[in-house]
Each structure stands twice: as structure tokens, then as C-alpha cells.
Amino acid sequence: MVSKHKIEMVLTWYQRGYDIQLIAHHLGLDPRAVQDILRQAAQAATRPAPPAGKPAPPEFSDRPLWEGERP
């Protein structure tokens, strides 16, 4: 598991043009872990934003939460 701080460092250094191998070496990570971090960041950037405004109300059921008579 990679800490949030290291993830931020990977993203920052990659945006500045550092090589994946160099980033992995300096942070003590496996190059595949660095590639996974970059892949996940790219996927998160392409996801659509949640709709603005209020969220949809929850769905309710007519089924009672208890069985039997009320006390």
C-alpha cells in the first residue's frame, strides 16, 4: 500500500517530466506500482463529474420493519 503523500509525489513528479524508473527509484517503489498510480489517476480524470444539486431521494418501501403486533 502506497501512502497518499507518495501518490501525490508520483503525480507531481510525473507532471514535471520525471521518468517512471527515476520516480520509482527515489520513492522506493516498484515501477509497476508507479504505473498503476498513474493509470488510476488517468481513469479518475476521465470519469464524469457527479451531477450538481441535490442528490436523488432514497427509495422507500411499504414493507414494515417489524413483524407482529405493535406494543
Does 10 have pLDDT greater than 90? yes
pLDDT of residue 71: 61
Domain residue limits at 11: 4-46
- Confidence grade of residue 70 (pLDDT, cut at 50, 70, 90): low
The number of distinct structural domains making up the chain is 1
Does 2 have pLDDT greater than 70? yes
Sign of CA dihedral 18, 30, 39, 53: negative
How many of the other CB atoms lie within 10 Å of CB of 21? 10
Residue 9 falls inside a structural domain: yes
Q: What are the tens digits of pLDDT across the range 12-60?
A: 999 999 999 999 999 999 999 999 999 999 998 888 777 788 877 778 7
With contact defined as beta carbons under 8 Å apart, do 27 and 6 qualify? yes
Residue 11 falls inside a structural domain: yes
